[in-house]
């Protein structure tokens, strides 16, 4: 029973990791297996030529599938826990910042790695200079989407730093774009977040990119859906409050 309870958080965080990053880790593990096979063939081939033992090389060639499985499996067992620990730490930090920005539902919807770039208008020269001095113009960030908040944090010495945080509501607008002639899942996909109020943390306009374009597209669609649900929820509350006032007046 205790073992099942321990495995559940691991399974939850593993489902959060984007499939693109899982495939990247798998390809790295396979590369380690191929490298081990090549090294084994080179070593045994050299020994077979020097010792004139041809069966040594052919024996290694027969064992190549087993060498590949062993080396790739060992690399995978090292990569998978490290990735999970990175996501667990990033989720914990992002959840803390979401709570400090008055987020009430801290259930994580999705999380992935990306790049945040702050955008300024022509009338925001002072803000741009301040961000440039504080090195806040660009940053490699963890992008976390909760049910009622979006948080972006960057890694630094001593802990995580919150680069952007905002409650999911009608004050937040999300716009996705790609280069002309490119699909939505192209590597140059960009998502812009524009907020019309001063609440939250971060610039009014920012651009998000990622080397995982599919995760970026999913983030855009889920954030738009959460914003729409938030607007509908507020409209329903206003309607119910108006109906209650009407009953009281009667």
Over residues 158-187, the pLDDT tens digits come to: 788 888 999 888 888 888 887 766 667 777
Position 118 pLDDT exceeds 70: yes
pLDDT at position 22 is: 92
pLDDT band at 228 (very low <50, low <70, confident <90, very high): confident
Position 41 pLDDT exceeds 50: yes
pLDDT at position 10 is: 64
Overall pTM > 0.85: no
Position 220 pLDDT exceeds 70: yes
* pLDDT (average), residues 115-142: 68
Token representation of residue 43 = 């070593």
- Could you tell me which residues come within 8 angstroms of residue 122 by beta carbon, excluding any fewer than 6 positions away? none
Over residues 14-31, the pLDDT tens digits come to: 888 999 999 999 999 999
Cα–Cα distance for residue pair 84/164, rounded to 1 Å: 23
Ranges 86-90, 126-130, 173-177: which has the least confidence: 126-130
CA of 186: how far to CAs of 26, 118, 121, 176, 192, in Å?
22, 22, 27, 12, 16
pLDDT band at 122 (very low <50, low <70, confident <90, very high): low
- Could you tell me which residues come within 8 angstroms of residue 219 by beta carbon, excluding any fewer than 6 positions away? 110, 112, 143, 145, 191, 208
**Domains, the chain:** 2-83 (no CATH), 105-242 (2.30.29.30)
Percent of the chain exceeding pLDDT 90 equals 36
Ranges 153-157, 190-194, 200-204, 220-224: which has the least confidence: 200-204
Ranges 58-62, 64-68, 178-182, 189-193: which has the least confidence: 178-182
Position 5 pLDDT exceeds 60: no
Asked if 240 and 247 count as a contact pair (C-beta separation under 8 A), the reply is: no
pLDDT band at 141 (very low <50, low <70, confident <90, very high): very high
Burial of 21 (0-12, 13-18, 19+ CB in 10 A): middle
Cα–Cα distance for residue pair 46/148, rounded to 1 Å: 62
């Amino acid at each position: 029973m205790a073992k099942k309870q321990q495995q559940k958080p691991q399974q939850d965080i593993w489902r959060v990791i984007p499939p693109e990053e899982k495939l990247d880790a798998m390809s790295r593990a396979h590369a380690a297996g191929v490298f081990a096979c090549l090294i084994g063939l080179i070593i045994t081939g050299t020994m077979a030529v020097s010792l004139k033992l041809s069966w040594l090389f052919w024996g290694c060639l027969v064992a190549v599938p087993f060498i590949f499985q062993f080396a790739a499996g060992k690399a995978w067992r090292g990569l998978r826990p490290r990735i999970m620990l990175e996501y667990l730490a990033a989720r914990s930090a992002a959840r803390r910042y979401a709570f400090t920005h008055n987020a009430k539902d801290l259930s994580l919807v999705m999380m992935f790695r990306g790049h945040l770039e702050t955008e300024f208008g022509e009338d925001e020269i002072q803000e741009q200079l301040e961000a440039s001095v504080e090195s806040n113009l660009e940053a490699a960030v963890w992008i976390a989407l909760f049910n009622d908040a979006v948080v972006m944090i960057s890694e630094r010495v001593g802990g995580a730093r919150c680069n952007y945080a905002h409650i999911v509501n009608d004050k937040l607008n999300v716009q996705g774009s790609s280069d002309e002639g490119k699909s939505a899942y192209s590597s140059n996909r960009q998502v812009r977040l524009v907020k019309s109020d001063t609440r939250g943390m971060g610039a009014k306009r920012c651009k998000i990119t990622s080397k995982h374009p599919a995760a970026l597209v999913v983030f855009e669609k889920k954030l738009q859906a959460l914003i729409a649900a938030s607007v509908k929820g507020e409209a329903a509350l206003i309607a119910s409050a108006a109906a209650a006032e009407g009953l009281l007046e009667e």
